[in-house]
Chains A and B, each alone.
Chain A
Amino acid sequence: MPAKPPTTAASKPLAALLVAAACGVVGLLIVVPLVSVFYEAFSRGAKAWWEALAHDPDTRHAIWLSLTVAPVAVAINTVFGIAAAWLVARFRFPGRSLLISFFDVPFSVSPVVAGLALVLIFGRQGLLGPTLEWLDWKIIFSWPGLVLATTFVTLPLVVRELIPVMEAIGPDEEMAAVSLGASGWQVFWRVTLPNIRWALLHGVVLANARAMGEFGAVYVVSGHIAGATDTMPLRVEKLFQEYRQPASMAVASVLAGLALVTLVAKFVIERRLEAESRELEAARSLADSLDHKNVEGAVA
């Protein structure tokens, strides 16, 4: 137990002031907006809220579209995240650190810029436009474009969760499995996946939240065709532009509810991650002390 700083007693009023200020900042910037989404959405009663969501075919379609685009983007992310983390955490090769910094690019590039780049490739005036027209494939203003844009903006989320965890766990167990004759798939399913499952789930939850809520990149590639290419966040914007604030707030409240569920899931998963990290540390220090004893024994 570290000694209490001598300032504690004297700084009580200061501490209270700082806590009040911090709560004021978070309250005004975060809590008030969050509460007001639900207040505005339900201000005309639960029935009106439900009707705004369920009785508008375009809104229904937007919910359906979000529910089909996000899982595909998250699935691509999961496969990519596991492969990329395995590559970077388990092997050393030239260009490795450059590759790692490429993983971060989607975070720093404006989603609008990403959407525009996709339009320049797949749009009618784009690089592959004539080819796609000849094949009669539609990517921009259509479902595949939405998936591509969503995948781009969520790309770092899974891999960024997995790399530190895989590095901390180290390759010992996997190498033991290989030396005992396990195949690559067996190593993955029996050793790697159980070890990284909470980190993977963490990444998937975050990627899903971002995928459901993505606006900028999707806005550029969707073409806003109501009932066809409007996802939930785009529907929020369209209803807002049409001065249908209550309906807009109703869709927004669904997205905000989803964000709250995400945060609760994130909180639970992080506690699991911390527990496993502590277990790993304990196992390591036990192994280290045993090693130490063996060495001492051999010397004696």
Chain B
Amino acid sequence: MTEPDRMIQLLTPDLEIPHTAADPTGPAADDLLRRVMSAPPAPRRRWGLRLAIGGSLVTGLAAAVVAASVWLPESSPGGPTPARAAALQITTDDKYLEIRILDPAADPQRYREELAAHGLDIDLSLAAAEPDEVGRVVFQEDDIRGIKLVEAPGDCTANGNCGIGVRVPLSYHGHARIVFGRTPLPGESVEGDAPVLAPGQKTQLRALVGKRVSEARQQLAANGQTASYRVGPKSLEAPASEVPGTWIVFDVAPLAGNVVVIWASEDGQEPDYHDEVPVPVEDKPTR
């Protein structure tokens, strides 16, 4: 311990805690432990997914992944449509149910009805997306692992999104949210309204990759944009004060409200995303 540490120790507040609260085997601790361990599992967000050219599996979804809480819920392109042709293509074998979007203009309520008819608690909706993301999976989150992306290799978007559907194990009993891309509505804002960007804006954003955080900050500020940072192996949100200007940007993604997500690290290398370990098919969902 250094001298500054010893001085800071002098600032430690004094505590008087009732024994019933402080005792790790006391009533308060026991009660909290019991409640915590009976809490339902949290939705598992795929934080590791990011925009990356030539990346693996579901790269290209990052913008939507991080933007999900901002703009995804319930973006129906029109009202309920009278047509009752199937909105989804649902095929099944003895292990899986495969879902693809047939009608990207259908009312999300119809997807829900079709999925509920198969006994699945999957919230499926649509969100405005760039032309090459229309009909593709742009966001997925689930509380139990097991849902897999159906990919169409050779038919991937420029940023590497090949997801055209999802495969759900018949035994799946978790809750999941899946969003497919749709064509923006006439008049729906494109400029500055993530994740639909004009090509020029995309180029401008991509140009930030490889730059120092300080430069990226300057440029974003000049464009009237705000940065939101993601750092570390969990791609967690961090305040600007914890992202030194000398760090290097290794990825970017637009969010609504002129916010740009900046992934940065000290050396400009992308950390390993531990969350993205492949899930074996036989991995039985547990609660």
A, B co-complexed: no
What is the interface of chain A, defined by CB distance below 8 A to chain B? Answer: none
